[in-house]
Structure 1
């Protein structure tokens, strides 16, 4: 892996080199400050003041050059506008073509300018992170708070487009008018839904969206998959080896994701009845549902490691284990054994190949469609979550064949066993194993443009020790010209090394992810027991309620991804969503007598929807504050977030079962108390690291 400083220099436009952030100089200053403080010749207050002034000068240099280039582009567009007006009076096809190319040339130069701003934005985030890491100051918090919110903030002009929109609008309108519209007099303002008329405009829009953190539905949905992209932007699109990609293989991965989520939630409406039919308490449903998550904690690790060598073999193993697990789950009724039931669910959890599904998208899907594939991964999960309970609601029958019982308790197992058998045959016949490059694990596949940003936002030792002379991003503190040792730049090779890369900001994001998954699991897993006790709901009613909750996932993401995320910062949405989850939990408590259906439904819907919004922005921020070393390898960011979510489900289901010993009448309030406590803790932690989420 190339050190960041060298990579930054390689990506610079040669004729603009003097206007980029001087990352090398600032890194050397950080080293000098460390030496001066160690010798006692400098105090912290002077260091903060001097570094702030230097950073202000660097940002001012960038902003003034940006404004100068915008002025030049505006002048060129004005000259072209005069030519455009002349052509409207005396049309000339050859000159129209020349004018169109001239406008495209301006668009390409504007795209170069946007890449210039984006590279500087990444450099600024990384130097702030480096300062915090070296000295243990909360400098990023101070700098962002004092600069970003100031009315004359130059920092905001680097991270937000200033005047770019007017240039894009002029280019888009003129290129639109120069197209052959077959006599149409409509402009882009009359038809805003028309597709952008030129590839250069599409590229500019994508660059602006990245720079401003603007997003759309597909992008917002794709963030849920935590599949990271290239750290530094390039003016020219990087070509991905399309030979490694196969559409049918991608489809099989998405089908695996869908079926696994159906398998997870299809038993939720009937788990309490099944437990009681085997002589256990209704609240043992917590263990029955959670057994799958317990096994998934371990399966996520070995499937992630297995995917370093193959995708086909782990998917085959997953299908076979899930087939066997569902058969055991269904046979437990006639064997009258709760242990067979639990063994079946454990086997289902051991077949969780979500790590393989995610790795296939990140490793084998071309960049140009990776966002759509990531969104497909999340959509398949959401659809499976809704279809599982809905399917359970349809399986209301009771008959026997050769002493084997088929009823609402066992049919989910038989149906899923048949589904996995069909999937296994389809997989065996059509999956294409992608070619492998040597030492693929040591090669960075992708990382987010802001992936290493703000990694060290809170307390660290005053000066790092000699053993820690190397950054996790591959830069050496003592010499820019040297390469960092290979082990310091490669992916984390163990859970311990991955944990050491977790900064306070990342830990807070993982805590939030744990909280939202815990709250959602409490709501979903105990829904059958709670609604039966308070409202005497049938299995079909519970199934409809859970299916309706699952169906809110995509509409909520449409609203957030298309509108809300473009109106507010991710950290603002994050904090607001946490507060809404907290309100949903508070409204769910059984304080008012009697406990009513509207109270339960409304509070559950509020909690679930807020948690869905929270998941998207949480993973978006997590991808930006997480180390690039966690974007690849076995112990990657996706695995860590999966483990955090799975552990939350395990703890939640265990809580339900343990609380059941105190009686069903106390189950609701007792299980909600930990949710409330963790939610409040996450809100406090978010406020503490708020300015580091920039």
Structure 2
């Protein structure tokens, strides 16, 4: 694996190489600073000032070239506009076609400029992150605060590409007018806008969206899966069909995702009644629900490792284990055994193949449809979450066949066992194992790294400035280079080989994002898992009422993502939405407490809705930021960023479900407040942590 500096150089446009950020030189300078401070010939203040001056010079070089190229493009467009005006008076089909092709040429040159800006933005983020890692000083925080919002900011030109949007608009508008609609007076500004049937326009729009992190519903929804794209963009449109991709296999992966989420939540409305039927307390439902998550902590690791060798075999194993687990869950009633009930749920957790489902999309789905596949993964999860409780509400029957009891408590197990049996047959017949030979011959893709790396920062201002001499040899990011070479030691670029090595790659910014993910999953699990006990105690709700409430919560996922993805994310920065969502989650938790006044249905429903919806918004933004601040070494291999986020969320669910059961010993009257208190504390902690790393999320 080559170093980032070499990859950066490979992606540069040859005739513009002198105008890119000099990443290699700046890395060498950082090493020199480290050595000078270590031997005592340089002080901390001088290093910070000198590095700031160097960055300012690099950014100025980039910006002045960018402005020069914008001017040249604008001049060319102006001349083409004169030709277009002349053609309106004397139309000539051949000249119109020639003019359209000339506009496309200008568009392709603009694309080169957009890629130029994007690669420099990535280089700047990487060098800021490297400086912070090496010296343990929050330099990025200082630099962004002082440069980003200054009236003469050149940083905004690189990160926000001020001015290029006008050139994109000019090309798009004129190409639109030159389509085969002469005389219809259509425009890109018309509402609703008509589609512009030109691939150059689509490519320009995609490049601008990557630069600004502009998003839409599909994009925002896909972020929830943490299935990421390649770190550095290619300066050409490379749509190479992946030979490993098989549509029906993708559908089977999404079906597995859907069924697993149905399996997770189908027991929530009846778990307390099932526990009571077996002679346990109603709050033991926390352990019953959480047993699946406990096993998933371990299954995520071995399924992630197994998917390095195969996708078909782990899916077959998962399906069989889930079938057995659901049969055990259903039989526990007639066996009158809480142990069998818990064992059944543990088996279901051991069959969690979400790591395989995510990995298949990341590794085998072509880049051009990976976003849609990722959105499908999240949609399948959301629909499963809504369908699970709804299905439980429909299974209100009570009958016996021989010695087997079928009622609202056992039917979820039997129904899911049948569903997994049908899925197993479908999987066996239609799934196509991707070719490992193709994979071995391809250049490894960093399929889990976003186009723009974040500014992962070390926490706090530490003295002495240099952390240790050992860090001068190898950066935790794995993109350092040997002295005089663009290439780093081979091991410094390899994927993490254990959870311990993956943890060492976590910077404070990544840890904060994982804390936020833990918090939102904890709060959501408390709300969902104790809903049956709380609503029965305070309002006397039936199983059907609880099922309807939980299904309605699940059905908010897609509409909320439509609004946030299409509108809110394009009006505010991700970090602003992140902080605002955390505060709203905190408000939802506070409104849920039962203090003095009688607890009412409107208070419970409204507070639950606020908490759930804001947590859903928070999840998408949180994972988007996590992908940008995460080390590229966590983008691949078994112990990747997706696995870490899954583990954080799963542990949160385990802790939440355990809290419910433990709090149950204090009595149902205290259950609500006792379980909400940890949620409130973790939420406030995450808000404080976000404020401490806020400027690193630029």
TM value normalised by structure 2? 0.97
Structure 2 residue aligned with 1:270: 270
**Match among 547, 550, 556 for residue 546 of structure 1:** 550
Give the 3 Å change call, closer, same or farther, for CA 454–242 of structure 1 in structure 2: same
Match of 2:107 in 1: 107
1:543-586 deviations in Å (ceiling 9; x for gaps): 00000000000111111110110111111110110000000000
Aligned pair in 2 of structure 1 residues 528, 463: CA closer, same or farther (>3 Å)? Answer: closer
Give me the whole-angstrom Cα distance separating, in 2, the residues matched to 1:657 and 1:70.
Answer: 63
Q: Secondary structure at the match of 2:435?
A: coil
2:433 paired with 1:433: yes
CA contact (8 A) 2:318 2:352 kept: yes
Cα distance in 1, alignment partners of residues 192 and 542 from structure 2: 49
Q: Which residue of 1 aligns with 2:455?
A: 454
Q: How does 1:294-309 map to 2 (within 5 A)?
A: 294-309=294-309
Contact kept in structure 2, 1:289 and 1:525, CA below 8 Å: yes
- From 666, 673, 681, the equivalent of 2:670 is 666
Is 1:379 the counterpart of 2:379? The answer is yes
Secondary structure of 1:661's match? helix
1:468, 1:494 → 2: CA distance?
A: 23
Give the distance between the partners of 2:302 and 2:84, measured in 1 at CA.
62
1:531 aligns with 2:535: yes
Match of 2:175 in 1: 175
Q: Name the CA distance, whole Å, in 2 between partners of 1:486 and 1:49.
A: 33
> In the alignment, does 2:628 pair up with 1:624?
yes
2:87 aligned residue = 87
Match for 2:563 among 540, 554, 559?
559
| In structure 1, C-alpha distance between the alignment counterparts of 2:398 and 2:440, rounded to whole Å | 55
Q: Which residue of 2 aligns with 1:569?
A: 573
Taking the aligned partners of 2:160 and 2:182, their CA distance within structure 1 comes to 38
1:468–1:334: structure 2 CA closer, same or farther, 3 Å change rule?
Answer: farther
State the Cα deviation string for residues 290-342 of structure 1 (Å, max 9, x = none): 00000000000000000000000000011101011111111111111111111
2:400 aligned counterpart, secondary structure: strand
Q: Is the 8 A contact 1:262 1:384 kept in 2?
A: yes
Return closer, same or farther for 1:119/1:388 CA change in 2, 3 Å cut-off.
Answer: same
Give the 3-state SS of the residue equivalent to 1:242 in structure 2: coil
Greater mean deviation of Cα atoms: 437-446 or 297-306? 437-446
Contact map agreement 1:147 1:153 (CA 8 A) in 2: yes
The answer for the alignment partner of 2:349 in structure 1 is 349
List alignment gaps of at least 5 residues for structure 1.
none
Q: Take 1:501 and 1:451, find their aligned partners in 2: how far apart are those partners?
A: 18
Q: State the secondary structure of the residue aligned to 1:244.
A: coil
SS at match of 2:126: helix
* Residue in 1 that maps onto 2:333: 333
Cα distance, 1:191 vs structure 2: 4.1
| Structure 1 residue 439 displacement after superposition | 5.6
Which residue of structure 1 aligns with residue 291 of structure 2?
Answer: 291
1:487 maps to 491
Alpha-carbon offset, residue 171 of structure 1: 1.1
Q: Shift of residue 101 of structure 1?
A: 0.2
- Partner of 1:657 in structure 2? 661
Say yes or no: does 1:501 pair with 2:505: yes
Q: Give 1:404's aligned residue.
A: 404
| Distance in 2, Cα, partners of 1:536 & 1:13 | 68
Q: Which residue of 1 aligns with 2:690?
A: 686
User: 1:42 maps to what in 2?
Assistant: 42
Structure 2 stretches of 5 or more lacking a match?
Answer: none
The count of corresponding residues between Structure 1 and Structure 2 is 694
Alpha-carbon separation, structure 1, partners of 2:59 and 2:630: 24
Residue 212 of structure 2 corresponds to residue 212 of structure 1: yes
* d(CA) in 1 for partners of 2:620, 2:585: 14
Q: What's the CA shift for 1:643?
A: 0.3
| Alignment pair present for 1:321 and 2:301 | no
Distance, in Å, in 2 between the alignment partners of 1:191 and 1:571 is 31
Q: After superposition, what is the alpha-carbon deviation per residue over 1:610-637, rounded to whole angstroms, capped at 9, x for unaligned? A: 1000000000000000011101100000
What residue in structure 2 maps to residue 188 of structure 1?
Answer: 188
Of the structure 1 ranges 181-190 and 405-414, higher mean CA displacement relative to structure 2 is found in 181-190
Q: 1:234 to 1:407 in 2, by over 3 A?
A: same
Question: Given the two structures, how large is their TM-score scaled by the length of structure 1?
Answer: 0.98
Give, in angstroms, the shift of residue 22 of structure 1.
1.1
State the alpha-carbon separation in 2 of the partners of residues 31 and 680 from structure 1.
Answer: 38
Paired residues of 1:34 and 1:463 also in contact (CA < 8 A): no
Contact 1:441-1:633 at 8 Å conserved across structures: no
Whole-angstrom CA distance in 2 between matches of 1:605 and 1:507? 27
Aligned-residue CA RMSD in angstroms? 1.5
User: Aligned in 2, Cα 1:645/1:604: closer, same or farther, shift over 3 Å?
Assistant: same
| 1:385–1:360 distance in 2 versus 1, CA, 3 Å | same
Q: Secondary structure at the match of 1:471?
A: coil
Q: Distance in 1 between matches of 2:325 and 2:629?
A: 38
Q: Relative to structure 2, which stretch is displaced further, 335-344 or 451-460?
A: 451-460
Aligned with 2:666: secondary structure? coil
Post-superposition Cα deviations, 1:418-464, rounded to whole Å, max 9, x if no partner, equal 10000000000000000014668993442434564323332577143
Partners of 2:605 and 2:410 in 1: CA distance: 28
- 2:159 is the counterpart of 1:155: no
| Superposed displacement of residue 361, structure 1 | 0.2
Deviates more, 1:519-528 or 1:229-238: 229-238
Choose the corresponding residue for 1:607, options 598, 607, 611. 611
**Deviation at 1:652?**
0.2
Greater shift, 48-57 or 669-678, is seen at: 48-57
| Contact 2:560/2:617 (<8 A) preserved | yes
1:608 aligns to what SS in structure 2? helix
Determine the C-alpha separation between the residues in 2 that align with 1:25 and 1:693: 25
* Alpha-carbon distance in 1 for matches of 2:194, 2:445: 37
Aligned residues of 1:522 and 1:653 also touching (Cα < 8 A): yes
Change (3 A) 1:581 1:171: same
Partner residue, 1:443: 444
SS at structure 2 position matched to 1:400: strand
561-570 vs 193-202, which deviates more? 193-202
Shift of 1:185: 2.9
Distance 1:349 1:447, change over 3 A: closer
Q: Report what 2:517 is aligned to.
A: 513
Secondary structure of 1:405's match? Answer: strand
For residues 435 and 392 of structure 1, what CA distance do their matches in structure 2 show? 40
Work out the CA distance in 1 between the residues paired with 2:409 and 2:353. 25
Report matched runs for 1:460-479 at 5 Å: 462-466=466-470, 469-476=473-480, 478-479=482-483
Superposition deviation, residue 17 in structure 1: 1.1
In 1: Cα distance, 2:209 partner to 2:164 partner = 11
Q: Which segment drifts farther, 658-667 or 14-23?
A: 14-23
More deviation in 146-155 or 432-441? 432-441
Report what 2:23 is aligned to.
23
